[in-house]
Amino acid sequence: MAQSDTSDVKIAGPLETALVQLDQTAELLQLEQSIHGKLREPKRVVRVSVPTKMDDGDVEVFVGYRSQHNMDRGPCKGGIRYHPGVTMEEVMALSMWMTWKCAVVNVPFGGGKGGIACNPKGMSMAELERMTRRFASELVDIIGPDIDIPAPDVYTNAQTMAWIMDTYSMNAGHVVPAVVTGKPVELGGSLGRDKATGLGCVFVVREALKTLGMPIEGARMAVQGFGNVGSWYSRLIEPIGGKVVAASDSRGGVYNPNGIACADLVAHKKETGSVVGCAGTDGITNEELLAVDCEVLVPSALEGVITSETAPTIKAKVIAEGANGPTTPRGQEALNDKGIFVLPDILANAGGVTVSYFEWVQSLAGYFWSEEEVDTQLEKVMVTAFERVHAESEKLGVDMRLAASAVGVGRVARAVRLRGIYP
């Protein structure tokens, strides 16, 4: 199968990036053309109209999507995001990455992803609820505990999942807590789910620094994107010795080479809606944050921020991708040229789907774990996944991104071979 062009100019978005990565992995693994072709295409993609009554009485029609990439290892799993930039191509790419991510940490799911193109910051809670319930009702036939289990993502949260669970349950005629994860604990959510992605990232950064012979005590961290992942990562890396020197969100960033107390960042953002202006810091842009002198850079915002243009400015020794798809293929080439150790998204931010798996298991069983049990099991999964990917990297002589993809794609490919094609 022909390989995709890897130039930043030719790559228009995350779907092209995801396909380039798959093609490179397929070549490395010498995948059969039939399996390679199957994995390049999602199993199902739906586009739905989401008419929503607004508070002023008018009806606004939004467009929603759900991509289900693969079900060979289990039901689909993946978030739902509310963002003006949501497109069908974006959710297709994200669902593909979710398939590999689930396989890297070896949980029995395939990849799904969805979203609505909207501006949630400009909507009231009542409008968000009506939009969410209408979207859930449009998806009711293709989601479920054994089919596809949504979760929170960009600008969605536990409340969003509660609305989806309730809508699905009303249609089913009984309570179905396992239809979503990331829901409130009171409705069957898991303890530790809110911090899971950030904590999983902490575990793999700790293991990476240990492997590279770098002390974590005093290691400087630059965190781009101080949302759920970035803020939890910052709060949890601090107690084990990491020092956050820069942080940012959509409005801009802050910098202090001597370190910034994470409690101050969290409190300031809660009060003002942004980290910008936090006491004792200097203002920087998101682009400048990428070039901060530090040991670990954690891009936790949106896709495509590390490119062939921005990568040469990066001074970090380690990059841990808290976001999905923050690095383009040409960006990765530039990072390799600089000898930067990259913990790719399908490994670094897999803590969220891992604890979502734990939540799904708990919801199905009706038996719930303590937060300590959740954290302990998450650590085991993330450390094992890091060790497996690093061993593959050493064995194949490739970077960690290609090694993680080889682990994930390889496991899915084996499932495809074993199951065969029906009919």
Write down the pTM of the prediction.
0.93
Per-residue pLDDT at 2: 40
> Does residue 4 belong to any structural domain of this protein?
no
**145 in the same domain as 63:** yes
Residue position matching structure tokens 């497996």: 388
**142 in the same domain as 49:** yes
**334 in the same domain as 245:** yes
> Does residue 102 belong to any structural domain of this protein?
yes
> Does residue 187 belong to any structural domain of this protein?
no
**205 in the same domain as 172:** no
> Does residue 277 belong to any structural domain of this protein?
yes
Closest CA to 229 of 283, 189, 167, 182: 182
Per-residue pLDDT at 8: 57
* Domain enclosing residue 270, as ranges: 196-348
**208 in the same domain as 122:** no
User: How far apart (Å, rounded) are the C-alpha atoms in residues 315 and 297?
Assistant: 9
**275 in the same domain as 153:** no
Quick: pLDDT tens for 332-358. Answer: 999 999 999 999 999 999 999 999 999
**232 in the same domain as 170:** no
278: phi then psi, degrees, rounded to nearest 5: -60, 135
Per-residue pLDDT at 14: 87
Per-residue pLDDT at 10: 47
**126 in the same domain as 252:** no
> Does residue 407 belong to any structural domain of this protein?
no
Per-residue pLDDT at 17: 87
**Which residues lie across from 262 on neighbouring strands?**
none
> Does residue 91 belong to any structural domain of this protein?
yes
3 state SS of 283:
strand
Residue by residue, pLDDT tens for the chain (423 residues) are 344 444 554 445 889 989 999 999 999 999 999 999 999 999 999 999 999 999 999 999 999 999 999 999 999 999 999 999 999 999 999 999 999 999 999 999 999 999 999 999 999 999 999 999 999 999 999 999 999 999 999 899 999 999 999 999 999 999 999 999 999 999 999 999 999 999 999 999 999 999 999 999 999 999 999 999 999 999 999 999 999 999 999 999 999 999 999 999 999 999 999 999 999 999 999 999 999 999 999 999 878 899 999 999 999 999 999 998 899 999 999 999 999 999 999 999 999 999 999 999 999 999 999 999 999 999 999 999 999 999 999 999 999 999 999 999 999 999 999 999 999
| Domain end among 287, 316, 348 | 348
Per-residue pLDDT at 192: 97
Quick: pLDDT tens for 200-239. Answer: 999 999 999 999 999 999 999 999 999 999 999 999 999 9
Per-residue pLDDT at 303: 83
Quick: pLDDT tens for 358-373. Answer: 999 999 999 999 999 9
**158 in the same domain as 94:** yes
**Interhelix angle 33-40/400-419, nearest 10 degrees:** 110
Per-residue pLDDT at 5: 47
Those residues with Cβ within 8 angstroms of residue 228's Cβ, 6 or more apart along the chain or in another chain: 194, 197, 198
3 state SS of 422:
coil
| Token digits of residue 165 | 């669970």
**159 in the same domain as 131:** yes
Q: How many structural domains does the chain have?
A: 2
**Which residues lie across from 220 on neighbouring strands?**
243
**235 in the same domain as 170:** no
Report, as residue numbers or ranges, the catalytic residues. 113
> Does residue 419 belong to any structural domain of this protein?
no
Cβ neighbours, 10 Å, residue 301: 23
Cβ neighbours, 10 Å, residue 170: 15
**215 in the same domain as 114:** no
| Domain end among 348, 363, 397 | 348
Q: What is the DSSP letter of 360?
A: H
| Domain end among 298, 327, 348 | 348
Report the CATH number that the domain containing residue 322 is assigned in CATH: 3.40.50.720
> Does residue 387 belong to any structural domain of this protein?
no
Residues listed for the chain: 423
Report the CATH number that the domain containing residue 84 is assigned in CATH: 3.40.50.10860
